[in-house]
Structure 1
């Protein structure tokens, strides 16, 4: 396969950058061995913004090292994001009719999609990406289907909205994996899109061309894969055509799948199989594929995904907000299927809360505690098992062969404020436990992406102007609008 692991930033993008050394009093180290807290860790960054060396047991910081002010964690990948939906977060929490579900929420969300301009998308996404950095994410996978002008015609540059997202990530200092989406019909039995979906229309060729254009741009921290909206929104012929366009290139391929019971029922009528079973039966799945949501499954489908090497992306806060249901987390973990997390509709922008929701949903359903823990496998800490799973699954979901505090991975690190409420006084060995299950205020102090500080003491250098541009975009979008 051709390698699609993001290239090191070009020399032009790293003008003036020198190798540097960070020192952490404690750091969560992974790699091939079991992840664990290590004391006195030197983290050496090379000129390309990757980890050159990681050395624990250095109990006195070297004179030339930048001393980190708290425990250090690897940056998290947000493996599923719709940035424009940040403008809708918190605005769909009222019900004027007898019922409200995913499908009614979706219809209202389309109203935002139809009005958002490129400049507004950039302002919204920049605010979102800044918030994600403050929530401990350093890379975001943007499931991008808001492509065209409001009337459905192409922009003079068909990648205009994609560049708005890329500019936003660059403004924030966030890593971005852009995933242009194949989207061609309103449902299994529909020949085309609805009128209010007109900005989403794409073909396999459009998606492949956009992916190649983004990948060739040479921008630092920018990478691209492809996505298929869902089986209901794309024909089997178009999925096969996109698969042919991609060929054997090693890039991430994402798809919404089995999020809703209605989708599963309609897929059974259309294809005679459940969505994940159909994907597996077509021989499509391999380690490049990321199944987003994968909520409604049977054990045989989990087994098929495990055999294929594909991963899943669970979005707990969005799945709860939309009433989607609960994924079979114990089944997926037991099958050793790679698992990442995503912020999706942006009702939550902190990974620790996503992991809390992931575990708490299972506790409520199964009436048990510490569902994700696996003491028989030497993994008695629930938070650590979920965090490690999300770190290991997130890298491939974003197109990275190496991720985390590992030599060769991009030099991303998140520094915690261990004096924050929830962490204050907690024994060092239980920092992750308290972070996921005992904190209700922000605890991220500093964030480095590719060795460069983008969050300092919880704040971003561009925080005020970014917020002002976001408020202006929100005012333009919502002024005079009728909110249900």
Structure 2
């Protein structure tokens, strides 16, 4: 496959008249100064580094205030009730729709932090990895690159209390988890660019013994929720006499394989210490705002040389541009300043490049840069739109991020698979019909 771009964002910066040759899903050649017919702009497509696809079906269902002050914890209680109605078929239909929307938004792959493993009430399916297989099937149908992260979930809190209610669908003994991980590997075996990692859910939900072993369970990435909520910090501090990030830096073998999801509750010293480990900060600004988590210390993180990427987490809204925009806007609101995250690059370009390279590292996926050997995760923008008219270089990314609308991704390739064409995913209609039928049934039951 040959692609031409009037301009493309390469590792060394913007280049004109770029010719790309793609073979077996990877970029085989990058040549500049070669005019040709093709696209106005080609960019590296970032990875969505954190998603719970099943939560896409909850969008708009949790916005009424409950008794007292609504919070993350009341939202979680509603989520557990929703889980009681989800079958494996539902999970596949919802995941497939979410992945269609991710591709249309500009994500070239997704890290699925997958903790919905078991039937209602606990136990296992005949195949313990049934639900992982459903996620893999969604990725195969949509063509979206997948880093699959089966979640280890053992206990209801740092004190080791037993799981109950909706949590029973998450929990696994070590033996069951090993079966689940093996089954997930088999489900991914026919997908040449898929990656298998592991995800200890959080310091609350995983035993100390498992935390000691988790890095050796696969050779892939390791993701963990960390320091998302004040109540979580308080619980860990009371039990272990250290704040979550402080404890993790001192006790876990953190390096570039690790992705620390949210990390919204950090002191300046924790920010600097965590950044030095090489772990990626997994930021989900839309979900963090929706749940009232707090604001990540982006200036401190960048000053310490930290890497970050963005994810859609609860999938209440799937928008790459809005994740990037809200990341910067939250800093502006907190600091009463503008262009907080810009350096010699414009804000939009910094956000894009850092999210692309950080997301690739978190996914264990050779992508995020347009260079030889990388997976061809690429997107072309709809530059004929009036919001992008006449813009080039950094200003184009600034307009996409801060002044754009949905639908500005004209084409997207995931490992060379051309899955978005003319702004629409190639399987959109059939996927949407299954999702619609699933949602009618679920909402009637709720």
Q: TM-score range by the shorter chain?
A: over 0.9
User: Structure 1 residue 57: deviation in Å?
Assistant: 1.4
Query: Which of 286, 292, 303 matches 1:323?
Result: 292
Aligned to 1:479: 444
- 1:398-446 deviation line (CA, Å, top 9, x unaligned): 1124432111110121110011242123345410010001113320111
Query: Which of 110, 135, 138 matches 1:140?
Result: 110
Aligned to 1:42: 19
Contact 1:182–1:234, Cα closer than 8 Å, also in 2:
yes
- 1:449-476 deviation line (CA, Å, top 9, x unaligned): 2222111101122211111100111112
1:291 and 1:442 map into 2 onto residues whose CA distance is 30
The alignment of Structure 1 onto Structure 2 pairs a total of residues equal to 444
2:351 and 2:144 map into 1 onto residues whose CA distance is 23
2:20 and 2:141 map into 1 onto residues whose CA distance is 26
Query: Which of 7, 27, 39 matches 1:51?
Result: 27
For residue 43 of structure 1, give the secondary structure of its aligned residue in structure 2: strand
Is it true that 1:457 corresponds to 2:422 in the alignment? Answer: yes
Deviation beyond 4 Å, 4+ runs, structure 1: none
Contact 1:208–1:226, Cα closer than 8 Å, also in 2:
no
1:243 and 1:50 map into 2 onto residues whose CA distance is 28
Aligned to 1:406: 371
- 1:338-384 deviation line (CA, Å, top 9, x unaligned): 1011000002212111010000001011000000012xxx33x1111
1:76 and 1:429 map into 2 onto residues whose CA distance is 17
Aligned to 1:364: 333
Task: Choose 132-141 or 214-223, whichever is displaced more.
Answer: 214-223
Distance 1:371 1:205, change over 3 A: farther
Contact 2:154–2:163, Cα closer than 8 Å, also in 1:
yes
1:305-344 equivalent positions in 2, closer than 5 A? 305-344=274-313
Q: CA RMSD in A?
A: 1.5
Distance 1:37 1:184, change over 3 A: same
1:73-152 equivalent positions in 2, closer than 5 A? 73-152=43-122
1:280 and 1:205 map into 2 onto residues whose CA distance is 28
Distance 1:316 1:412, change over 3 A: same
1:310 and 1:356 map into 2 onto residues whose CA distance is 23
Q: Normalized against structure 1, the TM-score is what?
A: 0.89
1:27 and 1:88 map into 2 onto residues whose CA distance is 37
Distance 1:49 1:417, change over 3 A: same
User: Structure 1 residue 213: deviation in Å?
Assistant: 3.8
Gaps of 5+ in 2: none
1:36-435 equivalent positions in 2, closer than 5 A? 36-46=13-23, 48-59=24-35, 61=36, 67-216=37-186, 217-220=188-191, 221-246=193-218, 249=219, 251-374=220-343, 378-379=344-345, 381-435=346-400
- 1:114-164 deviation line (CA, Å, top 9, x unaligned): 221111111101110000000000110000000001121100001110010
Gaps of 5+ in 1: 1-19, 62-66
